[in-house]
């Protein structure tokens, strides 16, 4: 039996244990998956102290987890934030499956040419890298300019939410902040957000399981919207493939999706 967990703060809301446990059961693996609140402890020390074989990482630890890993694989090297750990002897191998999960989640939002991401954390980084790889014009807006340096180096457009051009048309607007997770906040001022959304085709919120103010505004404007449930699902499916060295079947995906939807009455963030 192997042990897995999700590290985060907060983490009590997370539905990853329900979803990933369903995946292990489908594969007939007697593994466990728990939640671990991580405050100021060293994530690497806690990982080994708990005797884990793997872990997921959620806010606000994705960039911290990247810096603590021994080996970083794939596009996580570019993103410089990770959400999946795998134990390899006395080393931790880190991946980022958020980019894959996001692109799968927005597959129905086609065609796209321009995307606005609100936020500049680890999830926003993964999304920006995925969109740039897909040759989509990408703009990142954040409350402060300080965290935009990564995106400037990536080669995407950047702005602060105060200075955003509300006359520019974006096909898709993504909330990659925690606004609306545990409060009634918007990711930027309501007035500016409304003007940005008015000319948009689609809206996506990385938060899942709740009608955030961001999504409510999209609904009021009759814009097609979606929460982060499918992103959570597919990033989890990719993590499951990495942990078990198997290729996900429709049966595995459906088992994880069913478990997630059975419990998806609570709010959460990837």
DSSP 68-105: H-SEE-TTHHHHT--SEEEEETTEEEEE--HHHHHHHH
Q: Is 141 helix (H, G, I), strand (E, B) or coil?
A: strand
Number of domains forming the structure of the chain = 2
180 shares a domain with 111: yes
Q: Return phi, psi of residue 174, to 5°.
A: -115, 130
247 is catalytic: no
What tokens were used for 151?
A: 């995106």
233 shares a domain with 144: no
188 shares a domain with 112: yes
Distance between CA atoms of 120 and 158, rounded to whole angstroms?
10
Alpha carbon 107 to its chain's center: 16
pTM value is 0.92
220 shares a domain with 130: yes
Distance between CA atoms of 263 and 90, rounded to whole angstroms?
35
112 shares a domain with 50: no
24: domain CATH number is 3.40.50.10860
110 shares a domain with 129: yes
Full pLDDT tens readout for the chain, 270 residues? 999 999 999 898 889 999 999 999 999 999 999 999 999 779 999 999 999 999 999 988 999 999 999 999 999 999 999 999 999 999 999 999 999 999 999 999 999 999 999 999 989 999 999 999 999 999 999 999 999 999 999 999 999 999 999 999 999 999 999 888 878 899 999 999 999 999 999 999 999 888 999 999 999 999 999 999 999 999 999 999 999 999 999 999 999 999 998 876 444 444
146 shares a domain with 187: yes
120 shares a domain with 237: no
Instruction: Report the phi/psi class of residue 222: left, alpha or beta, with left for phi > 0 and alpha for psi in -120 to 50.
Output: left
206 shares a domain with 126: yes
134 shares a domain with 198: yes
Q: Are 92 and 71 in contact (CB under 8 A)?
A: yes
Alpha carbon 249 to its chain's center: 22
Choice among 49, 62, 146, 266 that is catalytic? 62
Verify cis geometry, omega within 30 degrees of 0, for the bond prior to 60.
yes
Rounded (10°) CA dihedral 67, 57, 204, 17:
170
200: domain CATH number is 3.40.50.720
Place of tokens 């999946």: 84
143 shares a domain with 82: no
Which residue range forms the structural domain that includes residue 34?
3-96+229-269
108 shares a domain with 92: no
Among 269, 106, 121, 115, residue whose Cα is nearest residue 196: 115
């Amino acid at each position: 039996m192997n042990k897995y967990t999700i590290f985060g703060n907060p983490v009590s809301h997370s539905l990853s244990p329900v979803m990933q446990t369903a995946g292990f059961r489908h594969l007939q693996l007697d593994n466990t998956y728990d939640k671990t609140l991580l405050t100021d402890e060293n994530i690497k020390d806690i990982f080994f102290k708990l005797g884990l074989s793997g872990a997921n990482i959620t806010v606000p630890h994705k960039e911290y987890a990247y810096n603590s890993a021994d080996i970083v694989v794939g596009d996580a090297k570019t993103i410089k934030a990770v959400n999946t750990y795998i134990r390899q002897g006395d080393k931790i191998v880190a991946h980022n499956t958020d980019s894959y999960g996001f692109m799968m989640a927005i597959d129905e939002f086609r065609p796209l040419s321009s995307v606005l991401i609100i936020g500049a954390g680890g999830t926003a980084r993964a999304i920006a890298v995925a969109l740039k790889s897909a040759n989509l014009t990408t703009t990142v807006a954040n409350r402060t300019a300080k965290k935009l340096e990564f995106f400037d180096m990536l080669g995407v457009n950047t702005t602060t939410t105060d200075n955003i051009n509300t006359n520019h048309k974006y096909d898709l607007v993504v909330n990659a902040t925690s606004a609306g997770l545990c409060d009634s906040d918007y990711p930027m001022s309501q007035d500016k957000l409304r003007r940005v959304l008015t000319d948009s085709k689609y809206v996506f919120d990385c938060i899942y399981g709740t009608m955030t103010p961001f999504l409510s505004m999209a609904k009021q404007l009759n814009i097609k919207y979606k929460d982060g449930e499918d992103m959570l699902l597919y990033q989890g499916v990719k993590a499951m493939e990495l942990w078990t060295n198997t290729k996900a079947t429709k049966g595995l995906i459906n088992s994880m999706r069913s478990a997630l939807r059975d419990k998806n009455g609570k709010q959460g963030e990837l």
